[in-house]
Structure 1
Amino acid sequence: MIMDGMADRPIKELGYKTPLETAKTPNMDKMAKIGICGLMDPIKPGIRAGSDTSHISILGYDPYTVYTGRGPFEAAGVGVDVLPGDIAFRCNFSTADENGIITDRRAGRIREGTDKIAETINSMELEEGVEVIFKESTGHRAVLVLRGEGLSDKISDADPKHEGKAPKEVVPLEETAEARKTAELLNKFIQKSHKLLKDHPVNLKRIEEGENPANIIIPRGAGAVPHVQPFGEKYGLKPVCIAETGLIKGIGKIAGMDLVDIDGATGGIDTNLENIQDGILETASKDYDFLLINVDGADEAGHDGQMEEKVKFIEKADSIVGEIMKLEDVYYILTADHSTPISVMDHTGDPVPIVIKGPEVRVDDVEEFNERSVTRGGLCRIRGNNIMDILMDLMNRSTKFGA
């Protein structure tokens, strides 16, 4: 179970504690008391892991080999059947002013009407022989797939990363005709998206209601579909993925996992945690050997610099931990995929806490689950790609190395 972005840095306003240290988490603390704890570097020390690359590493794949960009995972996760040769992008519904300056990268955390906007984008014509496939994901997220001959994923991102700037001009990252063509098409796509959406009925209604309009699409994370060994084949386990965002669902799908959709799972701090809990418990009762669970709200709060909301969300998520711990004969691993400090409002390379509970685990002396207390734990400091080896050994399913 990965609490996305849960880890943080000490905050002055919290008495130099982290949100996890500040939050009341009796169930996580109980898990620490009956489990084995430590620190984890999702990829390796000091590397600022993305949610995608960290999950790939935690599942036992080499992110430096498998990862081609975020787009293909997002596209697969929202149900687009990507094909070899397709170039996929992760996108934001964003807000631009009359001068083309981005004033809100997430369009007011838009929740409704994105399907209608997607219909309009899918009517776009860029160039003969190039198909535009666009689909909304959760909240402000979406995916774009360009399908056609002579395309390349070797292009830069358009995302300015911060408000107050225009979308970046997309440029080729290699001197090929394919990269130049794709960069030109993407720049054209961004311009056309603004023309198509600035007077869209959904946006006119949002403006009337005082909400930021989703009047421009910002693509990033270009990538081609990777070839990976299915997770079930790799480990001999029957896997399932329960996640809120298209990105993590896509990683699960490309890894050959079954997917479980949860009603009301938004990927934000307003997500329906009760439904997520029920979905986990129902899925655990079925014929699966491995559950990958991702809960995203703490990461959203970190990116938005919402200190109090991050503390509150961690406290709410703690109740899920309590219910899952009631499952018998289960190895339960709780960790984060990266740190998303309030002070940085982005991912950092800080290690994250991890705890493993289950049969025959060598319980250590840690009594609280947070970034500092787990440093005294028996796992010491591991990397994300160690987790599956440790789990397979605990399950007595690993193969012996040597005689």
Structure 2
Amino acid sequence: MKYLILLGDGMADYKIPELGDKTPLQYAKTPHMDYLAANGEIGQVWTVPEGFPPGSDVANLSAMGYNPKTCYSGRSPLEAYSMGIIMSETDVSFRTNLVTLTEEPEEYEQKTILDHSSDEITTEEARELIGEIRKHLSTEELQFFAGISYRHLLIWKNGHLDIELTPPHDIPGRCIADYLPKGPHSRVLLEMMKKSYVLLNDHPVNRSRRRNNLRPANSIWFWGEGKKPSMENFYKKYGLKGSVISAVDLIMGLGKCAGMDVVKVEGATGGTHTNFRGKALAALEELKKGKDFVYIHVEAPDEAGHRGELDTKIKTIEEIDGQMLSVLLPGLEEFDDYKIMLLPDHPTPLAIRTHTKDPVPFAILRKGVKKQSNVTYCEEDAAKSGLKFAAGHELMNYFING
């Protein structure tokens, strides 16, 4: 038996008046997703336990079959693990975004956040900017590490967790005054953020971006703090040899912590413009090479949701259907038996441009099973189903064992 999960980050949404009161999943042309729902099982799952923030870290832990209540230690340490950074027990890791802030007013605290990803800045440009930050702000205790696109890391040796931080994708278009670091040890982070604006706003990389009508990456922003993670090995837990395919350090870190192989695909970006088809082909290749389980993560719909781009979100959903499922479904038929599951990790509604804790729809199809129902793959039909998982991590056991 081969098992494959295709996770479209942030695909779920609310009904939108401009779409005739449909969600993007209902409006988009998704014949392959609908085939899964009509011929398999469809249901609802709550991936974010009560008391946890609705982040991709918590939600993907659940989707991978891990209970966040027992193994969650923060988002950024998982990204550090993916990047090969060895954390000690006393280190604290912080996600460090390159964001776009307004240039006016002059006072840093009164600026507005325009974009959490600085127009999905390229990794090459970002590395140059993080190099500038490292040159001026790194110390023996504070070390910066360059990641992919806008996603980077700070490791604070003997650091502190008593700091209140806000994800930048939660506050687009808002004045940052109420969302800056707070708490007994927050000044260290706040001072670095303020200094970063001075270092980056007129940097040659940003002058070039402005000339090309792209937003400048003119400040760092800290969030997602945590300590060294610990997870049970996936093979020990489920008896399956697995691989993870993603371009996002968080998901790659989850895979590595779980003892799975991480497959990087050329052209996969972690943004809205990515190699959809390449990820599907890579997944089939992993199964052919002997893997029992593959977890494909696609960030694109989530990025579109955060940016409030309706057409882009619809397009990314259609790309997952047309460039990925159209390859995966016939490719899986080569194996004696298989199961495939499609789901988001959480909703990223365009109306609010951030994550919510609402349940998400999942669809499971097994080879040779055809039910021919009239349902489609969407939030509404999933809600009508009697198949529901209030504890998200329990869905994996159902997927594997039935």
The counterpart of 2:46, out of the listed 18, 37, 41, is 41
The counterpart of 1:124, out of the listed 128, 136, 142, is 136
TM-score, scaled to structure 1? 0.87
The counterpart of 1:153, out of the listed 134, 148, 161, is 161
Tell me, yes or no, if the aligned pair for 2:120 and 2:150 is still in contact at 8 Å: yes
What do residues 336-390 of structure 1 show as CA deviations (whole Å, max 9, x unaligned)?
1111112121112222111111147684734311112234446345542122211
- 2:35 aligned counterpart, secondary structure: helix
* Change over 3 Å in CA distance of 1:363–1:46 after alignment to 2: farther
> How far does residue 306 in structure 1 lie from its aligned partner after superposition?
1.6
Tell me, yes or no, if the aligned pair for 1:36 and 1:362 is still in contact at 8 Å: no
- 1:8 aligned counterpart, secondary structure: coil
* Change over 3 Å in CA distance of 1:198–1:257 after alignment to 2: same
> How far does residue 224 in structure 1 lie from its aligned partner after superposition?
0.6
Q: Which moved more, 1:384-393 or 1:100-109?
A: 100-109
TM-score, scaled to structure 2? 0.87
* Change over 3 Å in CA distance of 1:158–1:46 after alignment to 2: closer
What do residues 34-53 of structure 1 show as CA deviations (whole Å, max 9, x unaligned)?
21111111135897621110
Q: CA RMSD in A?
A: 2.4
* Residue 110 (str. 1) matches residue 121 (str. 2): yes
Tell me, yes or no, if the aligned pair for 2:305 and 2:354 is still in contact at 8 Å: yes
The counterpart of 2:150, out of the listed 137, 140, 144, is 140
**Distance of 1:166 and 1:48 partners within structure 2:** 20
- 1:124 aligned counterpart, secondary structure: helix
The counterpart of 1:166, out of the listed 148, 155, 176, is 176
The residue aligned with 2:58 is 53
* Residue 63 (str. 1) matches residue 73 (str. 2): no
* Change over 3 Å in CA distance of 1:124–1:25 after alignment to 2: same
Opposite residue 324 of structure 1, the aligned amino acid is L
Opposite residue 281 of structure 2, the aligned amino acid is D
**Distance of 1:58 and 1:192 partners within structure 2:** 39
**Distance of 1:18 and 1:158 partners within structure 2:** 27
The counterpart of 1:241, out of the listed 206, 226, 244, is 244
Opposite residue 328 of structure 2, the aligned amino acid is I
Q: Which moved more, 1:321-330 or 1:8-17?
A: 321-330
What do residues 50-102 of structure 1 show as CA deviations (whole Å, max 9, x unaligned)?
11101111222221232222111222233433333221111211123243214
Tell me, yes or no, if the aligned pair for 1:365 and 1:376 is still in contact at 8 Å: no
Q: Which moved more, 1:298-307 or 1:156-165?
A: 156-165
* Change over 3 Å in CA distance of 1:159–1:360 after alignment to 2: closer
What do residues 191-246 of structure 1 show as CA deviations (whole Å, max 9, x unaligned)?
23223223322122223333222121001011111222222222222111101211
- 2:38 aligned counterpart, secondary structure: helix
**Distance of 2:56 and 2:205 partners within structure 1:** 30
Q: Which has the higher helix share?
A: 2
> How far does residue 114 in structure 1 lie from its aligned partner after superposition?
0.7
**Distance of 1:126 and 1:116 partners within structure 2:** 15
The residue aligned with 1:324 is 328
* Residue 261 (str. 1) matches residue 264 (str. 2): yes
Tell me, yes or no, if the aligned pair for 2:164 and 2:182 is still in contact at 8 Å: yes
The residue aligned with 2:399 is 391
Tell me, yes or no, if the aligned pair for 2:7 and 2:297 is still in contact at 8 Å: yes
Opposite residue 173 of structure 2, the aligned amino acid is E
* Change over 3 Å in CA distance of 1:45–1:166 after alignment to 2: closer
* Change over 3 Å in CA distance of 1:228–1:343 after alignment to 2: same
Opposite residue 94 of structure 2, the aligned amino acid is F
Tell me, yes or no, if the aligned pair for 2:267 and 2:274 is still in contact at 8 Å: yes
- 2:190 aligned counterpart, secondary structure: helix
| Identical-residue share of aligned pairs (%) | 35
* Residue 28 (str. 1) matches residue 29 (str. 2): no
**Distance of 2:382 and 2:369 partners within structure 1:** 16
Structure 2: gaps (5+ residues)? 1-5
The counterpart of 1:189, out of the listed 174, 188, 192, is 192
Tell me, yes or no, if the aligned pair for 2:113 and 2:176 is still in contact at 8 Å: no
- 1:325 aligned counterpart, secondary structure: helix
Matches within 5 A, 1:352-391: 352-359=360-367, 363=371, 365-377=373-385, 379-381=387-389, 383-391=391-399
Q: Which moved more, 1:208-217 or 1:317-326?
A: 208-217
Tell me, yes or no, if the aligned pair for 2:167 and 2:224 is still in contact at 8 Å: no
**Distance of 1:15 and 1:133 partners within structure 2:** 47
Tell me, yes or no, if the aligned pair for 2:308 and 2:350 is still in contact at 8 Å: yes
How many residues align? The count is: 382
> How far does residue 258 in structure 1 lie from its aligned partner after superposition?
1.0
**Distance of 2:78 and 2:59 partners within structure 1:** 13
> How far does residue 104 in structure 1 lie from its aligned partner after superposition?
2.3
The counterpart of 2:107, out of the listed 70, 79, 99, is 99
Opposite residue 114 of structure 1, the aligned amino acid is A
Tell me, yes or no, if the aligned pair for 2:45 and 2:395 is still in contact at 8 Å: no
Matches within 5 A, 1:208-247: 208-247=211-250
* Change over 3 Å in CA distance of 1:48–1:171 after alignment to 2: closer
- 1:372 aligned counterpart, secondary structure: helix
The counterpart of 1:303, out of the listed 302, 306, 309, is 306
- 2:99 aligned counterpart, secondary structure: strand
